[in-house]
């Protein structure tokens, strides 16, 4: 059954990049300039197919990638013009693509928020990550966006990079704070086993894994010390500028995803579009929806996801939404250890619990296989 008019969050995937960074495991395609227009056509056809699922009022749109700002300029403008109006419209941008002209065109197209992938400001770490942008490109892009009146800019950083030490991270955080972004996302580097990157940096990655907990504390202490709100495990904001789109995921709301590899969660169903560009474009050109993998979602699964994602936030999760998936004796034990807190009708992790993160959440889930107990 189609849930008409219920969805208020839209994700649009633009897979194209100028080159592939070694650590990246997202659905991306290098170059393919001649295929950008056809892809935008297909995205807009998919939007038409699913339009009835969207509510009259769309709250958030996130155009992510890949590198949306690598799209041929006319194509990005055409895409943005065809999307429904929304209260928050975020576009992900790679620093080297941001010119004064691009910044102005994003603003004129109704974009309200830009998420800029800095990752690091240290030349040796950017080289390890195989990034195109240098520190100067990040700073220049940031100021072009500010000059175009963007008052909601997020910077992405990565830590745990082979060759990194605490002093590198200290410098990256200082460089970030010097720009005074409205939002910062700080991710642990994830390196997929079996990839060229993992093969090249295996020993260093193992060393970095040992240091991860310390880096995490350094990130939180520095950003909170500078006045940012640590509102989600890896996300910080000031002036109330939470990432509303991502917040919708963490709160377990339904969302529609368009484009190759995009995921949608709608009531009792989740689907993932084919990651193959050709199959996606051909199906939509022929007037059919793209090939998709469909996964039924029962209330148990949605409840577990709600608990897992909700506890990443600094706000409490209502017990009514997770009561069926909560392991009550485990909650009592974690309260005694000072890791979780039960309010009258909600549950949250303490600061220490949030640092331990996933391990604590796993404990709280009823009937989790092979539970390990967290030592006090």
Ligand X SMILES: C[S@@+](CC[C@H](N)C(=O)[O-])C[C@H]1O[C@@H](n2cnc3c(N)ncnc32)[C@H](O)[C@@H]1O
Alpha carbon distances (Å) from 322 to 255, 310, 330, 371, 374: 20, 10, 14, 19, 21
Name the residue nearer to ligand X (CB basis): 53 or 93: 93
State how far the Cα of 230 lies from the Cα of 209, in Å rounded to an integer.
Answer: 22
Q: Provide the edge-to-edge strand list for the sheet that holds 317-318.
A: 317-318, 346-349, 340-342
Among ligand SF4, ligand X, none, residue 49 binds (CB under 5-8 Å by kind): none
State how far the Cα of 109 lies from the Cα of 61, in Å rounded to an integer.
Answer: 13
Burial (CB count <10 Å: 0-12, 13-18, 19+), residue 143: middle
192, two tokens: 């997929």
Phi, psi of 372 (to 5 degrees): -115, 140
State how far the Cα of 7 lies from the Cα of 29, in Å rounded to an integer.
Answer: 29
Among ligand X, ligand SF4, none, residue 25 binds (CB under 5-8 Å by kind): ligand X
CB 278, min distance to ligand SF4, A = 20
Residue 120 makes CB contacts below 8 A (sequence gap 6+) with 126, 129, 131, 157, 158, 161, 164, 168, 172
State how far the Cα of 26 lies from the Cα of 36, in Å rounded to an integer.
Answer: 18
Name the residue nearer to ligand SF4 (CB basis): 113 or 306: 113
Name the residue nearer to ligand SF4 (CB basis): 28 or 265: 28
Name the residue nearer to ligand X (CB basis): 34 or 190: 190
CB 349, min distance to ligand X, A = 22
Name the residue nearer to ligand SF4 (CB basis): 65 or 303: 65
CB 295, min distance to ligand X, A = 22
Secondary structure letter of residue 306 according to DSSP: H
168, two tokens: 């590198």
CB 298, min distance to ligand X, A = 29
- Enumerate binding residues for ligand SF4 (CB under 6 A): 17, 20-21, 24, 26, 28, 65-67, 94, 117
Name the residue nearer to ligand X (CB basis): 13 or 45: 13
Name the residue nearer to ligand X (CB basis): 65 or 290: 65
Three-state SS string across 147-163, please?
HCCCCCEEEEEEECCCC
Neighbours of 147 (CB within 10 A): 12
CB 241, min distance to ligand X, A = 17
Residue nearest to ligand X (CB): 117
- Enumerate binding residues for ligand X (CB under 6 A): 23-26, 65, 67, 92, 94, 117, 119, 156, 158, 187, 189-190
Among ligand X, ligand SF4, none, residue 20 binds (CB under 5-8 Å by kind): ligand SF4
208, two tokens: 């970095």
Among ligand SF4, ligand X, none, residue 156 binds (CB under 5-8 Å by kind): ligand X
Burial (CB count <10 Å: 0-12, 13-18, 19+), residue 299: exposed
CB 186, min distance to ligand SF4, A = 15
CB 223, min distance to ligand X, A = 15
Name the residue nearer to ligand SF4 (CB basis): 24 or 356: 24
CB 120, min distance to ligand SF4, A = 12
């Amino acid at each position: 059954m189609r849930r008409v008019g219920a969805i208020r969050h839209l994700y649009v995937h633009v897979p194209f990049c100028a080159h592939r960074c070694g650590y990246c495991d997202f659905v991306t395609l290098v170059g393919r300039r001649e295929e950008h227009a056809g892809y935008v056509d297909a995205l807009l056809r998919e939007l038409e197919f699913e339009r009835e699922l969207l509510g009259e009022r769309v709250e958030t749109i996130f155009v992510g990638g890949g590198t949306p700002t690598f799209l041929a300029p006319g194509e990005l403008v055409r895409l943005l013009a065809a999307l429904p109006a929304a209260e928050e419209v975020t576009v992900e941008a790679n620093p080297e693509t941001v010119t004064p002209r691009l910044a102005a065109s994003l603003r004129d197209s109704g974009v309200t928020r830009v998420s800029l992938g800095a990752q690091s400001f240290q030349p040796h770490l950017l080289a390890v990550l195989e990034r195109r942008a240098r520190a100067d490109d990040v700073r220049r892009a940031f100021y072009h966006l500010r000059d175009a009146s963007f008052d909601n800019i997020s910077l992405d950083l990565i830590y745990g990079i082979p060759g990194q030490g605490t002093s590198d991270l200290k410098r990256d955080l200082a460089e970030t704070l010097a720009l005074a972004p409205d939002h910062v996302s700080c991710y642990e580097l994830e390196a997929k086993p079996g990839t060229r990157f993992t093969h090249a940096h295996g020993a260093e990655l193992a060393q970095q894994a040992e240091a991860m907990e310390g880096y995490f504390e350094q990130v939180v202490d520095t950003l909170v010390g500078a006045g940012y709100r640590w509102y989600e495990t890896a996300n910080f904001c000031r002036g109330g500028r939470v990432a509303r789109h991502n917040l919708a995921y963490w709160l377990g709301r339904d969302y529609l995803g368009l484009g190759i590899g995009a995921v949608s969660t709608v009531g009792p169903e989740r689907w993932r579009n084919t990651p193959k560009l050709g199959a996606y474009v051909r199906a939509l050109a022929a007037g059919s929806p793209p090939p998709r993998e469909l996964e039924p979602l029962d209330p148990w699964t949605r409840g577990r996801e709600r608990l897992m994602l909700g506890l990443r936030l600094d706000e409490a999760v209502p017990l009514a939404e997770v009561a069926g998936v909560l392991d009550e004796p485990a909650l009592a034990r974690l309260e005694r250890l000072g890791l979780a807190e039960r309010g009258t009708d909600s549950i949250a992790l303490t600061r220490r619990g949030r640092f331990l993160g996933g391990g604590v959440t796993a404990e709280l889930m009823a009937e989790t296989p092979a539970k390990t107990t967290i030592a006090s």
